[in-house]
Structure 1
């Protein structure tokens, strides 16, 4: 092979046999000229044997930018890139054409202005008749646009594949989240067909996703046609607005809380089974009523209420508490065959006390006796266990519940309740009927964004906005943390409202240690013990964990925390979600009932009222106050402070100073004396220093009050028999609690109970004192009647007086002239009697003078 072509000269290429030419054919030069003129889209140039350009068509001029006079005679090497020239490409191209007759090529060429273009063409050899190389013909076509198009196509294809992969990954993460959340979710298209269903929805709807996908919701759930579900879904689509409602679906026997959101493709629906929550809420409300009913009935029973009246009141309480129209108390008659309607509500006049029902299977009460257990019937008309009594049928009862009434372990009768509406009685209702006291306790929501067809990236952004909106609208506080670090990435406004502070930033699980929560025994939660941390680190699903928290404003509250891990399809935890539901009010009501019950027990435990009031004051801290004062009103109207109770033992010295410095008189015009005088309660929500100065009777007392740092204060009177007999005062300091009207109402209720107990104690003391006086007089009368001797009578009177009224007794007897005739001395001991006689002899009594 010959050496490479250079910019100076091309080496000769060995030639093959000379080509033959037909007679009359055009010469090579003529053929080249014809080619040059006839190919407008191809640059055609001829080269001599050394690679110099000898012809140049108009297409070549347009493509390369050189005029013919600028390029002719120059080496075609100048059309190649410097890289190709260094690598010998021009020479190899001519060598290949000379050896094979044709050289195909695709490579970059250079224009006059230095720009490059992608050229495609071929080079062929021109030979003389004797076979020697006369030159070459090179044809070039610009394929830059096609190459650029192919490159752009490849780039776009790669970008599309990358975006699809990213979108699939995002879709997988979102699907993982939707499959991990506890909320059920499904999506519908505009034809009401299912397009997506998560596992929670499969479980709640009792249908597999394979069965539902592609099916019309109204065909799969025909019972929902015309229901609130259909109306609300259609309204969401029609008005393009989110809808939220709670509705019962009879075929699944479930209450659902539903949040539906219109999407570009149809409807996204989040829903939860809230049957348990609604039942729990109803139980909580019912439990409050049941506790009150039991307490009321118990007080009447302790007071000795007549049995008939007590039973009738019990029937009324059951009717109002269970919200039923009919109640009955049936007594089993001695014959054992019939039950007598002793008391009840809702029956026709004249039936109570007279009507009888069968004590066997011809009445629900009789069946209750036979079965020896509670009986519940949701539909009396379909009962096969027994036949409802004529009384129940005549009064339109539909559902019923009954329990045994027992006396000394034997069946006495039956307590029953009936509803004219279909009714499902709960276990709590059973417990209430049997003991008049039981009840139990409570949701979240979530949202997902529907995939948009306009583009994968746009759909991802929409889904994120969808999720954020769902979090904002949830009634519970919600936070999502990233695994494994624990960094909080999402939190809604309700979270801050519940905690009264922001939980952000939290970059790691260790930062959870800044949250203040307490176990039931009072010790604080560590960072790793929070439900969110446990779900992140161990995958634990935490449901309904009650936690006492210290909120950002310094007050305490209660939350129910639930958390769950969010897993990928391979099971790896990628995040965790936690919800906080504020149950502070419910816990406070329960604690209030418990406190009142304990206070009532304290008040009933003793008739020694002073000690009882001390115990009551100490029981009020710290539940009601950090400080509790009890003041008694004396007969002259003055105030005596009985006790100062405090929650912090370290404040004992301060309490002693407070007690010592508290001195008031009837002339005082503020504080406890004012409450005692007017009988009106006092509530100082946040007293100022000037207010404290008015309350303090002395400067020393004011200084102590300042040291207490009182945040809030209230005083309530103790009323008994139409007058104020004392004052209860409650104050907060270190707990930072601020009193409200409901706190004042609780204090007044406590004062009412305390005053009643105090009055009973005082009545008891007065009665005992009167009884002792009467007993003394009876003994004295009996002793005096039993003797007629003069000396013995004096001695008896002295002994009675010394035993009951004094340590010694001296009796002076006067004669008719008014002078002392005889003196009788009696004492509790011989020494005292000797001392008394000595005093009498040393200081004799003379009735005629003012001595003695």
Structure 2
């Protein structure tokens, strides 16, 4: 690089590629201070050590500018037309690759490249003109996540470099006719007009020297009104704004400056990139009002989400890819018995009880490996006091660019709930044991008798019919009732459904044709509003008792008749 810190050259240790994959047959360097400076600027802005700017001319690769580390930097083959740059030449599209080793199309190519470039971002150099095509490449020896903003910045700089190359060609060639010079200037202007962003150029006196069509639309001035006028005269409202500070700093310090702010006179949010040069200042504008509106709405939604998360009783938390807490809500602090300061940056194994830890680690591994996207489980946690609580936890994997990045979790303390369930099961078991060892059948059903919630086994003995499960429809019991007692049975069911305790004795016909007498007592259970939500009752086979009573009555009648005869 001339007047720089190193000399640019192709790596001499890199063997020539096979015929099938060769790019241009020769590489030439035609570096200039201006274009080298643009390459350095791109490398500095994108925080990368390598950059190259080249054009393909008649099967020759002309390197017009580069940025290489060290005093004797080597231009990696990967940043030339024989490397990844070739793909941009062929497609005419930007190329953003975080890691070429894992890229489905470039992993094989990565083994052939030199210079240690692992991550690359490359854009077409302006636009094609005749048989020429160019590329602006930036590379990094470590994986890097390039953004669309990075591509936009590099595209802006590529247009600037393309215009400079046109000027360099014009100045470096033999004396040209007025028509040839005019053609070159038109070519340079065509490149700047092709930029979708608004672009203006200022001289060292802050006067407009170039305004493209996009800038006319954005600034709401024609170029004829602006050319030759200073920016401070044309736009006096810029004075005192962040835009003025950015422009003056770019010129004063010789650095690229980026600023985003609202400009009231035009009622828009603008993103501005300013690049200084020996000739003045190049400025790119973008109207980002729509993006700012979306960001405002997103921020409002995010604030609403934060308020919601902070107010709910469940423990909402986020773990990173290593299983460390990166976000916790107040409920998480309360349930785990630890402050956010104690939790953030610490692994989940701090809070999981030893009896549950291995199982939780296995589930985290399932999420990390992609074997599962969601998991639901219960785990004991241990508070600093040593107290253990049981949590019901749902975990969902977080993906970024298709890769596992962490877990979003929601946890609920179910300790009391599980204790109550255990107590209820024990109580139900005791109830069943009692119900199964008394002579009366015990039953519980819904208010409309459609669902039997419980029927003790004694009922099978009484009815002679199997009671399968606990979802028997008790309305069907009317089919067993003796026809002469059916109406009374229906009336009793109606009274119970309306909240009236009822006792009824009726006959049933068993499957074998025998008739049994059953004494039924029903009791409605009311909720807090006074509505019936359960009906409980007993059923007792009183056949023998009633037959015994009938025999006693007959005997008494017979004895009474015998006594009268004797008298």
TM range (shorter): 0.3 to 0.5
TM-score under structure 2 length normalisation: 0.33
Which is bigger in relative contact order (C-alpha 8 A, separation at least 6)?
2
Q: Which has the larger radius of gyration?
A: 1
